[in-house]
Structure 1
Amino acid sequence: MRTSATGRVLHDPKGGSFRFDAGALCLDFAHTGGEGRYAVFETLHEPADLGAWLAEPPPAAVMSVPVTSRDLAAAKTLRQAIWEAAHARAAARPLPAEAVEAINRAAAAAPLVPELAADGTTTGWAEPVRATQALSTMAREMIELLSGPLAGRIRKCAGDNCPLVFVDSSRPGARRWCAMERCGNRHKLRALRARRATEA
């Protein structure tokens, strides 16, 4: 079954977790790990991890074809491309050519195909369900996001040293934080301490 809701729980290697909604499935996927200094946040260690992530809603795509090491490598390549493209757009920089190429390459594969259930009220994904289809679906979503009306709403969290990116789809377009319970509250606490220090 499919759902339009986005967002996942992110875990800090140093302890603690919080719910982060990037506003788009492709951006949620971009936060499953990373390269370089972000490697400590890696959650997709083996093919089964990718399959498990995709099985959760959204996209609630339970693989009917086993996920392979090649699928995992392709997923990480797409993830990095989405991350780089989102950060570039958030900073009003030109998109990296390699990121654009990787997103287009993933989008060229056949996407997931929605299928109406026999009851006529619920949906699923038509089999066979392959990882490449899920990656294509996310790549196509990223293309729509980068070229659509919300392209200017792709933002990096305003928190100090917070690299998380999201699309602000709220009507006022006033979202600043990855999550109020994390960076939003930290900002409020720092502002309160500064105000008290000034008053003192």
Structure 2
Amino acid sequence: MTVETWFRSDAGVRWQFETGALCLDFAYLGGFPEGAFGPASGLPGATAAPGSPRWDGLLVPADLGDWLGERYPGLGQAPSDRELHDARSFRGAVARLALCAADGHTPDADDIDVVNLFAALPDVPPSLAGGRRQAGAGRLRTGQALASVARDAVTLFAGVGFVGEPGRRILRCSADDCGLVFYDDSRAGTRRWCSMPKCGNRSKVRAHRARVAAAHA
């Protein structure tokens, strides 16, 4: 499943980034640690002055409710402060696991435990549209939605491996000044850029200019 995340840079430029996985989409709500990406990543706050507040997509419970509600329309009661706190912990664990997978590092067992804990909860049950009865419609809980995101994370990380695994598909953008992490869900496994219109095109332009300069040297 291709997942599209939209960012707005410090300069106000809005651009699209395909994470390739629902759980990574969630992690990009501010879960990655400061300094994880370069300035060309375009992440809000990536080029902010030292000491300035970092961008955070989960500041208040309504932020969590809006994000989950867009993906799980049957979400009922608004998230509580406690659920927001737990979601932020889960978000950070997914982000750190993604960085470990992309960089070939050993993951922290505590982060794995957090993901497994959320994944063990009852999730959002699948259903077919068109029936006369909609079991559970409008009664989905925040914990169920987060459990579904966690199960996506379990499937993702269990399938890609971490240290020394050949053919890993959780990668960093190949642009030297970007480094965003994504899951390469392409059939050939040849994706190199976080966004072809952004980093991919910039790389092509640079390569073209270098060839022109070499030809006229």
TM-score exceeds 0.5: yes
Q: Normalising to structure 2: TM-score of the pair?
A: 0.79
Kindly indicate whether the alpha-carbon contact (under 8 Å) linking 1:81 and 1:100 is maintained by their aligned counterparts in 2. Answer: yes
Q: How much does 1:83 deviate? A: 0.9
**Which residue matches 1:162?**
178
Match of 2:10 in 1: 13
Unaligned runs of 5+ in 2: 36-45, 47-52, 162-167
Residues in 1 aligned to 2:99 and 2:106: alpha-carbon distance in whole angstroms: 10
Q: RMSD of aligned C-alpha atoms?
A: 2.4
Residue 165 (structure 1) shift: 1.4
Correspondent of 1:194 among 210, 213, 216: 210
**In 1, Cα distance between equivalents of 2:74 and 2:137:** 10
Match of 1:81 in 2: 93
TM-score by length of 1: 0.85
Structure 1 residues 5 and 120: CA distance shift in structure 2, 3 A: farther
- SS of corresponding position for 2:127: strand
**Which residue in 1 is equivalent to 2:116?**
104
Asked whether the 8 Å contact 1:112–1:126 carries over to 2, the reply is no
- Give the letter aligned to residue 104 of structure 1: N
CA distance in 2, matches of 1:139, 1:184: 30
Identity %: 38
* Letter aligned with residue 87 of structure 2: A
Asked if 2 retains the 8 angstrom alpha-carbon contact of 1:103 and 1:143, the reply is yes
Radius of gyration: which is bigger?
2
Provide the rounded CA distance (Å) in 1 between the counterparts of 2:170 and 2:143.
25
Structure with the bigger RCO (C-alpha within 8 Å, sep 6+) is: 2
**Structure 2 residue identity aligned to 1:96:** D
1:50 — aligned with what? 64
Residue in structure 1 matched with residue 196 of structure 2 by the alignment: 180
Distance 1:10 1:98, change over 3 A: same
CA distance in 2: counterparts of 1:196 and 1:80, whole angstroms = 44
Contact 2:2 2:18 in 1 (8 A): no
